[in-house]
Structure 1
């Protein structure tokens, strides 16, 4: 088979993943090269695809060779999934992506505007949610989902754009109306190797995917460091921001009282969010809403209703015991959460945490030192060891934390920590957040920090 018109191709189901391939689908083989054969090719052929597109000849009669397969594939995506929602918002940064996406969705929800989000917490459209295995899905899924949302008359969509997703071109062909930059600290060096490469991947959002008339939304200090040279319009907050300035933040039990300045007018509101981190994330989402034409006065009238996302500085205690579950899994993420909780509650912190396997190993000692500095008691346990020896991971963390006790079972570690709770301290459980599993080698075992805590309360 020498050729096939794009008009005919788009009538078929497309596939880039052999696991999801079905009979008569059109498969795009991005793995096979001149000196490299796709290891799944035999399985792919057995599933009887209509055609396989590849950059080299394959042992399959219905193969079509294309020199630049990625560009050709993008042309097909444009044709098959041409219509997209009007307002695409991207959020990138080391931490805070899920919170910002969630808050943006919450603002739209309480203003009765149809909205969808794509990210770590899943594919969420209005009240409906389906699982998403990657923070930023593959390019085919992104184009397909956005086309589905357009057909459902959803015009506001926020997408978490991870450094992996940006680096691997999973967002190619999309044009964002606004791009949010939450923060930048060490992470994913197992993949990017250097901080320079990691930053370059992040900034790819603003250099290649943002509309020329689009907005960059970030803190004024981050803008000075990383995004100042981009010519896009900016919506900045912080001490030198041009939109919102945070005047004060006061703790009110498990809530916060926030005073801000917007366009030289003072606004005061109470929120169910805890800590400066989440207030900054909330402000990012407010600015994202403003960037697509939603009036600030409408936003401020419903902002008190906005709820916290699962596993992000999430308070689940009662009047006798203060317990927080958070997703922090980087040195800066852990440090910021601990500092925020100490400021908000003025209580000693008991910490339960671990580090994931097959990821940046150098951060383990640093996270142990951070835990040792800020906590009164630390229980080091398993996170997602994957293919690494869990015992070795725990010891690497413990080298930086002489206050620690090692308990391999995460459930038992939480139970031990819970028994130490009193009115003068709080329990923080980090690393897993919303996740309801633990990964040992290639096996996902059901586990939830929430489930364990609720059984103890």
Structure 2
């Protein structure tokens, strides 16, 4: 692609050694990936600054450089394009380089503290039931149809990778894309250049304040998505931050805003919910009448996700008959309110809940579905928002009958320090708490506390397959650990 065309929408401060007819065959922000004919984008980072690697990029064949800082050295034969924010420019460059692939697809972005993953999978299943080929970008992995694509450990990849995978989805026939959009991704401009048709806001509760510092900063990062949506914004009106977002969007944009929740007055709301271990019956009130529906995944918070998915589907012309079939056949989402079949006398649930609100909603849903005691095993991540630890402890103490506090990715911190911070919160509500540092043993201990009919809730890990320690990262599997705990109990009872 010619350099001139690539720079079409950039806000350029200055160009030195302009070569508009120069051919660009690759865009890189990592100097190690530069090949002859590359455009190198120098991005300031938290650990290192890409401006330090401009010389290396040129030595490997970069013919053009996008930068935001003033430079002391300009080499002949290389075009230098100065912009106000090179990270912001990266997504726009990527979009043009790949031919603006998102413009040819229906793209739905989902943001919020909780619910993003389940919602993307619901949307994908609904539209696949309609016969569409869909792509998904998210926390567990990326999908092109049924093919799994590595997400490189990020919910929202860097903007260049976002454009690359959207282009691959387009080339392989995807007509719809459902994308989790994290607050980090929005704050770091990783979805610049993506043409969103719909934005969905699930909720905003405490999480990631180690990064954003304040709720207002966290909210402002999330809100950025909804100024990119072109067809409609779909907002959880039961959430106070959702209501604030609605007011802002109605004042500052002309894009339609549709609200949902459990309270009458929203454009779409659910009532008459009947909870069960297999799923939930509910009546959905819509602008066009009422629909009785069955969602094949349990939990009230899953109904919230389903309503948002329904709104987006209806807006795209999917019939309620197709939606009804899709919800009734919706497969479970890995590590999200997942009830295991372990032939144990008690129930075992795995859920990714790792924020105060998600833990509270999980335990509330379990209480509505099951009549037995709740034995909760969970921990909090190291090197993350420390303020939420005692808050989650208080929630655990309020809703669970017995709490086992254990490790969950302690990272560089002392696991015992994290556990003690959580326990301090638990003890404000109950003295029914135990601590077991090693997670595998904590889950086994929790299993030993269960009586027939009880529910063993394993929260925080969900789909993750690792335990991050100070000096190493270990393989870990919550499902295998749960199975081993039940097997150990059976063996013990037989001897």
Is TM-score (shorter-chain normalized) higher than 0.5? yes
Q: CA deviation at 1:27?
A: 2.6
Q: What does the per-residue CA deviation read over 1:104-162, in whole Å, with 9 as the maximum and x for residues that have no partner?
A: 11112222210111010111111111221111111101111112212222111011111
Match of 2:331, SS state, is coil
- Is 1:413 matched up with 2:442? yes
Cα pair 2:91 2:191 within 8 Å, conserved: no
Alignment partners' CA distance in 2, 1:259 and 1:237: 13
| Aligned counterparts of 1:428 and 1:337: Cα–Cα separation in 2 | 9
Using the TM superposition, give the Cα deviation of residue 362 of structure 1 relative to its aligned residue in structure 2, in angstroms: 0.8
Q: Residue 112 of structure 2 corresponds to which residue in structure 1?
A: 93
Corresponding residue of 2:489: none
Q: Matched residues in 2 for 1:452 and 1:359: separation? A: 24
Give the corresponding residue for 2:421: 396
Q: Which residue number corresponds to residue 490 of structure 2?
A: none
Q: Which runs of 4+ in 1 moved over 6 A?
A: none
Is contact 1:335–1:370 with CA below 8 Å preserved after alignment? yes
**8 A contact 1:255–1:271 mirrored in 2:** yes
Deviates more, 1:266-275 or 1:109-118: 266-275
| Pair 1:450–1:39, CA change in 2 (3 A) | farther
Q: Is residue 450 of structure 1 aligned with residue 475 of structure 2?
A: no
1:274 aligns with 2:298: yes
Alpha-carbon distance, 1:7 to partner: 6.0
Shift of 1:288: 1.6
| 1:156 matches 2:171 | no
Specify which of 170, 191, 198 is matched with residue 171 of structure 1. 191
Match of 1:15 in 2: 28
Q: Quick check: 50-59 or 187-196, which moved more?
A: 50-59
Q: Residues 24 and 48 of structure 1 are in contact (CA less than 8 Å); yes or no, is this contact kept in structure 2?
A: no
Corresponding residue of 2:62: 50
RMSD: 2.6
1:380 Cα deviation from its structure 2 partner: 1.0
> 2:129 touches 2:322 (CA, 8 Å); kept in 1?
no
Aligned residues of 1:251 and 1:345 also touching (Cα < 8 A): no
Q: Give distance in 2, aligned partners of 1:114 and 1:354.
A: 38
Q: Distance in 2 between matches of 1:32 and 1:436?
A: 27
Shift of 1:237: 2.3
TM-score where L is the length of structure 2 = 0.84
Cα deviation, 1:75-118, whole Å, max 9, x if unaligned, reads 53243112324211010111101110111111122222101110
State the alpha-carbon separation in 2 of the partners of residues 65 and 364 from structure 1.
Answer: 48
Q: 2:206 aligns with which of 183, 186, 193?
A: 186
Aligned residues: 450
Kindly state the Cα deviation for residue 243 of structure 1 after the two structures are TM-superposed. Answer: 4.2
**1:57 and 1:125, CA in 2 relative to 1: closer, same or farther beyond 3 A?**
same
Question: CA 1:242/1:437 → structure 2, altered by over 3 Å: closer, same or farther?
Answer: same
Equivalents in 1 of 2:438, 2:395: separation in Å?
Answer: 22
Q: Does 1:147 align with 2:167?
A: yes
Pair 37,378 (structure 1): closer, same or farther in 2 beyond 3 Å: closer
Q: Given the superposition, is the C-alpha separation of residues 49 and 274 from structure 1 closer, same or farther in structure 2, using an over 3 Å criterion?
A: farther
Residue in structure 2 matched with residue 199 of structure 1 by the alignment: 219
Confirm or deny that 1:234 pairs with 2:257. yes
Q: Is contact 1:18-1:43 (8 Å) kept?
A: no
Query: Structure 1 regions of 5+ residues with no counterpart?
Result: none
Instruction: Quote how far apart the aligned CAs of 1:287 are.
Output: 1.3
Distance 1:316 1:392 in 2: 31
Give, in angstroms, the shift of residue 378 of structure 1.
1.1
Once the two structures are overlaid, the 10-residue window that deviates more, 16-25 or 144-153, is: 16-25
The 10-residue stretch of structure 1 (427-436 or 67-76) with the greater mean CA deviation from structure 2 = 67-76
Quote how far apart the aligned CAs of 1:412 are.
0.8
In 2, Cα distance between equivalents of 1:410 and 1:263: 48
Matches within 5 A, 1:49-448: 49-51=61-63, 53=65, 54-55=67-68, 56-57=70-71, 61=75, 64-68=79-83, 69-70=86-87, 73-74=90-91, 76-82=93-99, 83-84=101-102, 85-132=104-151, 133-207=153-227, 209-211=228-230, 214-222=231-239, 223-231=242-250, 232-238=255-261, 239-263=263-287, 265-318=289-342, 320-402=345-427, 403-441=432-470, 443-448=472-477
Shift of 1:392: 1.0
Q: Compared with structure 1, are the counterparts of its residues 66 and 259 closer, same or farther at alpha carbon in structure 2 (3 Å cutoff)?
A: same
